Amino acid sequence: MERTVLIAGKEYPAGSALASAAINHNRKVVITSPFGAPENEDTIPTEEISTVAWNKSSSVSARSIVLQAENVFQKVDEGVLVFDTAWLSPNFNSMTPEICSRAIDTMITSYFYLSLELVNRFIKQGGGSIIFMLKSAPGLVDMTSSTTIHGE
């Protein structure tokens, strides 16, 4: 039986390798994109993958993503929420109140909204899976103490 996976957090096209791996494992894929469908739709096989826009600070957008996935592939069986620190960190290089608020919306609130929508959907349909993936980046302490980096 073919399953549908919703991939969020590693937007298309950066998340295309993850989407390809899911397709290779007989999944239909809905993946978030900063602006929805890519400009050149010929680059993705539309029968196996669909892109949806995700406004991370909006609970309505989280619900919309799940509904769009269901409209395209009838249901969502799995959610893969990717938190890529190296991808997100450069966007928040200072700590003003405005940047702190945007960082919270992007890195915490957005994942909460989408998780809530997926859990509620899985309860209604009688099952589903959520995978939280963390791709960490080395911190300053890691880099200064690493013998691999310093060659010692």
Summarize pLDDT for 122-140 with one digit per residue, the tens: 999 999 999 999 887 766 5
Block residue for tokens 């390798």: 17
Residue 126: the pLDDT is 96
Nearest residue to 4 via CA among 69, 68, 76: 76
Reduced to 3 states, what is the DSSP secondary structure of residue 95?
A: coil
Residues lower than pLDDT 50 in the chain: 150
Summarize pLDDT for 73-83 with one digit per residue, the tens.
999 999 999 98
pLDDT for the residue 150: 46
* Residue 14, pLDDT score: 79
Q: How far is residue 27's CA from residue 19's CA, in Å, rounded to a whole number?
A: 9
Listed in sequence order, the residues at least 6 apart from 33 whose beta carbon sits closer than 8 Å to its beta carbon are 11, 12, 13, 51, 52, 53, 54
pLDDT at residue 86, rounded to an integer: 73
* pLDDT recorded at residue 93: 73
Cα distance between residue 129 and residue 125, in whole Å? 12
